[in-house]
């Protein structure tokens, strides 16, 4: 069968104009236009570009949410088996547009999506986890090579073939780790890496350190005496017996427990299961990790409004950043829903 | 977790823990240094009275942190 592809491009690569046409609203042309011609050629008859959707970079950047919806509607009419975009090289507005369109197309249409970008394109940071991106050079001089790589990856995805490790398939990493059997143990590989480093030879880490994003601080609590405060902890303190079987390390879940009837965390009802610190003191009195008795005392004194009835807790040792961020998003959404005003989060 | 709760709920999240550089690295905005890794909000070895008193003062400091406007990562 011949697969159907819809391609997204901007006004410039579609040959409609430069910056003076950057306000162009989304429109669709039948068949392959601009880079889609080369892409179709590289696909060698296995797939055809049935339509090309075009939008001006400024229009997209200034109306990202609505323009993405409009573009998606145009794509959808052509019932594609895969959606491609770009390549955007190091063009920031274009990369962002390609990423936004493809992320949406993947989520809604559930079809493979492929683009190409230079590793520093802001579209990589924004959408690179959900969109398959081939690594390209920083300018359109690399067009032919980029389209060949995009065609190769699109073909694999359409045939439902595995892509393989990013660096071997010319892709920008999506942050996916898969287990593989290696002939050498981790210890041997680590020592080899160290020796290479000492000799000044190139080496590649198998586990890059995460880079953490920053957020601007939330506004302060306006009136503490009326505030509802929630307790959250990564200190591994859970109801005795660990009913939700939260892992002692590398947690993939958290617990939410009703503490509305509790005045004090005593060892007969709560315990620490954390695998990353000496639990002796926490198991004599779990309040040294989750300060429930102190919060109740201050609540009775009217220093603050009231304690939120739900305690959120997990273990924070060896826990992956991705899981911890997910816990945070989910807990944050629940607290917002419940009208909580502030959180005290204790960590060991 | 601290950062994502704050981002999702848009409410101040005060983190009390012992290793300040880690809290700075992961992006906590309001930080109260705790007592020790195995007992961040208590000092049980110093006896029950001191234990409760240090817990109370850390919580009061956390209240100060959550009611103070900040524009960048801040230690209280």
Closest residue on chain B to A345 (Cα): B15
CA distance A100 to B15: 34
Residues in chain A where the model's pLDDT stays below 70: none
CATH number for the domain running over A3-169: 3.40.50.2300
Contact yes or no for B7/A240 (Cβ under 8 A): no
Residues B29-70 have pLDDT tens digits of 999 999 999 999 999 999 999 999 999 999 999 999 999 999
Q: Which of A231, A229, A227, A224 is nearest to A346 (CA)?
A: A231
Q: Confidence class of residue B22 from pLDDT cuts 50, 70 and 90?
A: confident
Closest residue on chain B to A332 (Cα): B5
**In Å, what is the CA distance from A253 to each residue of A190, A246, A320?**
30, 6, 11
Query: Domains of chain B: which residue ranges?
Result: 2-75
Query: Domains of chain A: which residue ranges?
Result: 3-169, 224-346
Q: pTM for the full model?
A: 0.64
Residues 6+ away with beta carbon under 8 Å from A168? none
The pLDDT, as a whole number, for residue A320 is 83
The pLDDT, as a whole number, for residue A120 is 87
ipTM of the complex: 0.98
Residues A260-281 have pLDDT tens digits of 999 999 999 999 999 989 999 9
- Radius of gyration (C-alpha) of chain A in whole angstroms: 26
CB neighbourhood size of A2 (10 A) = 11
Closest residue on chain A to B61 (Cα): A344
Chain A nearest CA to B21, separation (Å):
13
Which residues of chain B lie closer than 8 angstroms to A317, CB-CB? none
Interface check B52 vs A, CB under 8 A: yes
Residues A82-130 have pLDDT tens digits of 999 999 999 889 999 999 999 999 999 999 999 999 998 889 988 999 9
Half-sphere exposure of A73 (CA within 13 A, CB side): 7
Chain B nearest CA to A338, separation (Å):
10
Which residues of chain A lie closer than 8 angstroms to B43, CB-CB? 288
């Amino acid at each position: 069968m011949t697969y159907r592809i819809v391609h997204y491009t901007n006004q410039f690569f579609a040959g409609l104009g430069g910056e003076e046409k950057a306000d162009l609203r989304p429109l669709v042309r039948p068949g392959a236009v601009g880079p889609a011609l080369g892409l179709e050629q590289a696909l060698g008859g296995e797939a055809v570009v049935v339509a090309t959707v075009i939008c001006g970079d400024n229009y997209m950047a200034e109306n990202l949410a609505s323009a993405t919806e409009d573009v998606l509607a145009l794509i959808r009419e052509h019932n594609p088996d895969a959606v491609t975009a770009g390549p955007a090289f190091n063009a920031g507005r274009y990369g962002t547009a390609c990423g936004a369109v493809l992320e949406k197309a993947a989520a809604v249409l559930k079809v493979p999506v492929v683009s190409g970008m230079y590793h520093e394109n802001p579209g990589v940071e924004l959408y690179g986890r959900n969109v398959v991106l081939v690594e390209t050079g920083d300018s359109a001089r690399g067009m032919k090579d980029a389209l060949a790589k995009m065609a190769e990856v699109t073909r694999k995805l359409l045939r439902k073939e595995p892509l393989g490790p990013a660096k071997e398939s010319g892709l920008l990493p999506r942050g996916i780790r898969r287990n593989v059997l290696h002939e050498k143990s981790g210890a041997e590989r680590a020592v080899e890496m160290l020796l290479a480093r000492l000799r000044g030879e190139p080496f590649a880490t198998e586990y890059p350190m995460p880079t953490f994003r920053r957020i601007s601080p939330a506004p302060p609590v306006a009136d503490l005496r009326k505030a509802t405060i929630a307790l959250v902890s990564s200190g591994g303190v859970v109801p005795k017996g660990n009913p939700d079987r939260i892992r002692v390390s590398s947690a993939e879940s958290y617990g939410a427990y009703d503490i509305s009837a509790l005045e004090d965390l005593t060892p007969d009802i709560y315990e620490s299961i954390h695998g990353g610190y000496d639990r002796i003191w926490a198991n004599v009195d779990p309040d040294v990790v989750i300060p429930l008795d102190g919060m109740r005392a201050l609540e009775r004194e009217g220093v603050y409004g009231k304690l939120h009835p739900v305690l959120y807790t997990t273990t924070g040792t060896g826990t992956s950043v991705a899981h911890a961020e997910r816990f945070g998003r989910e807990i944050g959404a629940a607290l917002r829903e419940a009208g909580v005003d502030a959180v005290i989060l204790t960590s060991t | 977790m601290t950062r994502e709760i704050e981002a999702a709920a848009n409410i101040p999240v005060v983190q009390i823990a012992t290793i300040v550089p880690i809290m700075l690295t992961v992006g906590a905005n309001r930080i109260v240094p705790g007592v020790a890794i195995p007992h961040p909000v208590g000092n049980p070895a110093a006896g029950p009275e001191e234990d409760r008193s240090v817990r109370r003062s850390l919580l009061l400091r956390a209240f100060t942190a959550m009611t103070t406007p900040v524009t960048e990562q801040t230690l209280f």
